[in-house]
């Protein structure tokens, strides 16, 4: 299974089919496919990069450290996470082993391309009013390789799906801030972008 079944009408049907996806090599090392979560008809869809270590083990998107930053930012932007559909551009964890640790590795262009039909199918089934692209991988998967989050974050843009999008940073970039001052600035900017999205959704 490398393609979503055309007859899938619900997130549950898509998720069940994606569990067997071998559309790229990532299924071999990952624990499981981590599909999106939320309801059909959710007003807002959030798209991240790929599941991390915790997400891979638990089988749910954004349940690790980046998820906690996301939760806090959504809360401060006045967005109820229960009304949001959360997913990733790539549905398997890509990592390298360092001793017992599994270190995140960015998915390559072929892996992002192989997973795009699943994202397209999710968008088709969920029909969100607005899509928030978290970080460069999600933004480029949807808007093309020339898209730069640093230049166009916080703007309401038209996507190829005919659904407006707002791009912003990935929450894990906030975790990588070098000091408190830059972390606070990055978080404020992230929340401001989410508030733009909240007004539209
Ligand atoms: N980072 C992502 O992009 N997605 C997740 O689900 C977790 C971390």
Residue-range domain boundaries for the chain:
11-200
Tokens 């997913």, residue located: 87
* Percent residues over pLDDT 90 in the chain: 97
Between 140 and 3, name the one with better pLDDT.
Answer: 140
Tokens 């916080």, residue located: 154
Q: Note the residue count of the chain.
A: 201
Cα–Cα distance between 35 and 109 in angstroms, integer?
A: 19
Structure confidence at residue 139 (pLDDT): 98
pTM score above 0.95: yes
> For the domain 11-200, what is the CATH code?
3.40.470.10
pLDDT digits (tens, 9 = 90+) for 113-152: 999 999 999 999 999 999 999 999 999 999 999 999 999 9
The minimum-distance atom of ligand 1 relative to the CA of 64 is 7
Consecutive H or E run containing 103: strand 101-104
Cβ neighbours for 36, distance < 8 A, ≥ 6 positions apart? 11, 15, 45, 61, 85, 86, 87, 88, 122, 126
Q: Is the CB of 62 under 6 A from ligand 1?
A: yes
CA 1 to centroid of chain Cα atoms: 22
Backbone angles phi, psi at 45, to 5 degrees: -115, 130
Cα–Cα distance between 8 and 16 in angstroms, integer?
A: 10
Structure confidence at residue 2 (pLDDT): 78
pLDDT digits (tens, 9 = 90+) for 6-22: 999 999 999 999 999 99
Cα–Cα distance between 145 and 141 in angstroms, integer?
A: 7
pLDDT digits (tens, 9 = 90+) for 76-122: 999 999 999 999 999 999 999 999 999 999 999 999 999 999 999 99
Hey, what are 129's tokens? 């009013």
Structure confidence at residue 189 (pLDDT): 98
**CA of 51 relative to ligand 1 center, distance in Å:** 4
Q: Determine contact, residues 171/88, Cβ cutoff 8 Å.
A: no
Consecutive H or E run containing 84: strand 84-88
Confidence category of residue 1, pLDDT binned at 50, 70, 90: low
The minimum-distance atom of ligand 1 relative to the CA of 138 is 3
**CA of 62 relative to ligand 1 center, distance in Å:** 5
């Amino acid at each position: 299974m490398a393609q979503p079944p055309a007859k899938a009408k619900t997130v549950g049907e898509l998720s069940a089919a994606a569990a067997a996806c071998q559309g790229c090599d990532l299924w071999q090392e990952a624990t499981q496919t981590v599909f999106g979560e939320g309801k059909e008809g959710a007003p807002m869809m959030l798209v991240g990069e790929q599941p991390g270590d915790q997400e891979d083990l638990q089988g749910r998107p954004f349940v690790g450290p980046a998820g906690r930053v996301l939760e806090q930012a959504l809360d401060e932007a006045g967005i109820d996470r229960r009304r949001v559909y959360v997913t990733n551009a790539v549905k398997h964890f890509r990592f390298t082993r360092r001793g017992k640790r599994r270190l995140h590795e960015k998915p390559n262009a072929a892996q992002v391309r192989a997973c795009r039909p699943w994202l397209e199918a999710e968008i088709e089934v969920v029909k969100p009013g607005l899509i928030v692209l978290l970080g460069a991988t999600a933004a480029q998967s949807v808007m093309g390789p020339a898209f730069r989050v640093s230049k166009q974050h916080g703007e309401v843009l038209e996507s190829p799906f005919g659904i407006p999008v707002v791009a912003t940073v990935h929450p894990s970039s906030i975790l990588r801030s070098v000091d408190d001052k830059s972390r606070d600035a990055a978080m404020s900017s992230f929340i401001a972008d989410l508030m733009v999205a909240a007004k539209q959704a």
